[in-house]
Each structure stands twice: as structure tokens, then as C-alpha cells.
Amino acid sequence: MIIGIVGLGLIGGSFALAYKEARETVYAFDIQKEVLDYALLSGACDGVLNEENIGGCDLVLIAVYPEAALAYLKRMAPHIGKKPVVIDCCGTKRVICEGAFPLAEAAGFTFVGGHPMAGTQYSGFKYARANLFHRAPMVLVPADHDDIRLLDKIKSLLAPAGFGRISVTDAEAHDEMIAFTSQMAHVVSNAYVKSPTAARHKGFSAGSYKDLTRVARLNPQMWAELFADNRDHLLKELDVFIENLEAYREALRQEDEETLVQLLEEGSRRKKEIDGR
């Protein structure tokens, strides 16, 4: 296979390493010349993805911010052609799909929204690794959910990345769910560490602190764009969360231990229900 990768951060770089490990040909592009040069020198890619070779790719993965992804697609649309399947890797789907589906139809190339559900609290090519996607979920948002032949083709194209599960949904459902499963976790973690007490945590913290604060360290520019793109669903989840927090605060303020126990029992029971045990 010939793979094109746009953006050599954590996600794009990990895709490059995964496909090179599988002995596939990888062409890549990154706006930071030093990153692209390093990827070429280190053997993470075989050449620069450009207007001349993008049409010969079997798969093109776009691993940049939503606005940048759309800008790239608009610029390269006349050169992509019918052979490649183009999949973005953005953290929200409505903005990119609303722009890319009509663009792809007009230019005659195949575009599918995508979201690899993997990552770390670190960003950049230096943290990329070939096994980042092993057993991780991959979410696809195709224009036509009934195109089984295309979905089977994509599964084959993505096989070297090692995903454990591939799900198919629409952009609205994806963004609604991701506001809860991903974006809220980053907001809560990032806000939590702003307590003045955090500076004195060493020697008093263990697993629960580490679990809750892991994603407080993030890429501010990327996450701000993703939050803004998904503001309606994220605001809804924030409202629910704040309402629940206020219930705990009020029980504490009123020294109402009975209500506090009920609130904690509800949360514990809900977690068991969610996990199915």
C-alpha cells in the first residue's frame, strides 16, 4: 500500500510509524519543515506528500486541526482523484464532514470522517509510537452508511494500525458522545489542577490524583478549537456536571450526611451500571 499522511504530530506520526513497521510506503507532509525533515531522516516516511503523488495513494490520513484539514482538502481536491480513500483524524466530526462531503463529491474523491480513539497527554512527533492504536477504537463517519464495500475496504486499509474495534456513526452522534467521553474529561482535569492546593500535592497523592489529572496537560490551541466546534454538546454536559456538583456542595454546606450518602451511592451505582457489573 501507499499511504499519505498530513500532519506529523502524535497521531499522524504514530500512523506513519505503524505503516512503516508494516513495510508500507509512506508519504507525509507537515507545515513544520524541521518535523518533516526529521521524519524523513529517521525513516518514518519515504518522501514528501505532494500534488504529484497524492493521487497514487491508497489511503490518505489527515491528522491536523479541523480548519487546517478543510483548508488542505480544498487546496488538494483537484489532485486527489478516485484512487485514494481520504480519512480525517479530527476530534470533532460535524465541521469537517459538513465541509468535506460536498467538496469530495464535487471533486470526485472519496472522503470518510474518522476519529482514532487513542492518544496520550503529550503531543508532537517525538511522542509518536507504532503501537499507539493497538486495540484502540476507530470511529468512522461515512457519507453513505450502507456502502459495505467501502467500509470493508477501509478496514483492510487501516489493518496495519492495529485498531481493536471500528464503529460507524454519523457526525452529530459522534460529537454528542465525544463531548462526554473526551472533551469533558479534559475540561474537568484542566480545571481541577488550578486549585492552589495542587502545588503541594506531592507525598499526599496516589492513583486517583494521577487518573484525574493525566489529561490536564494538553495542547491548548487544538483543544480550544475542538471545544468551540462542539460548544453546544459540551455546554450541555457542563451544565449537567455543574448541577451535580452543586448537589454535593449543598449537602456538605447543610451538613446533610444522609443526602451525601445518597449522592455517592447514586454515582457508584451508575458506574456499575455503565460498566455492566
Read off the pLDDT of residues 72-130 as tens digits, 9 standing for 90 and up.
999 999 999 999 999 999 999 999 999 999 999 999 999 999 999 998 777 889 999 99
Gap between the Cα atoms of 69 and 106, Å rounded: 17
Amino acid residing at 125:
F
Kindly report the average pLDDT of the chain as a whole number. Answer: 95
Gap between the Cα atoms of 226 and 88, Å rounded: 14
Measured on CA atoms in the order 158, 160, 161, 167, is the torsion positive or negative? positive
pLDDT of 233 higher than 80: yes
Gap between the Cα atoms of 231 and 70, Å rounded: 19
Query: Among 73-77, 151-155, 209-213, whose mean pLDDT is lowest?
Result: 209-213
Q: Per DSSP, what are the bridge partners of residue 28?
A: 5, 48
Judged on CB neighbours under 10 Å (0-12, 13-18, 19+), 112 is buried
Q: Are 175 and 169 in contact (CB under 8 A)?
A: no
- Which helix (H) or strand (E) element contains residue 167? strand 165-168
pTM of the complete model = 0.91
Close Cβ partners of 88 (under 8 Å, ≥ 6 residues apart) = 61, 62, 63, 66, 69, 96, 100, 111, 113, 114
Gap between the Cα atoms of 44 and 36, Å rounded: 9
| pLDDT for res 251 | 97
Q: How confident is the model at residue 277 (pLDDT cuts 50, 70, 90)?
A: low
| pLDDT for res 23 | 97
| pLDDT for res 206 | 87
| pLDDT for res 53 | 98
Q: How confident is the model at residue 276 (pLDDT cuts 50, 70, 90)?
A: confident
May I ask the CATH class of domain 2-169? alpha beta
Q: How confident is the model at residue 269 (pLDDT cuts 50, 70, 90)?
A: very high
174-275: CATH, from 3.30.70.2190, 3.40.50.300, 1.10.510.10, 1.10.3660.10: 1.10.3660.10
Q: List the domain boundaries for the chain.
A: 2-169, 174-275
| pLDDT for res 121 | 75
Amino acid residing at 108:
G
Gap between the Cα atoms of 28 and 16, Å rounded: 8
For 37-65, what is the mean pLDDT? 97
Q: Grid coordinates in use for 131?
A: 503501537
- In 3D space, the residue among 55, 86, 76 whose CA is nearest the CA of residue 157 turns out to be 86
| pLDDT for res 123 | 83
| pLDDT for res 119 | 80
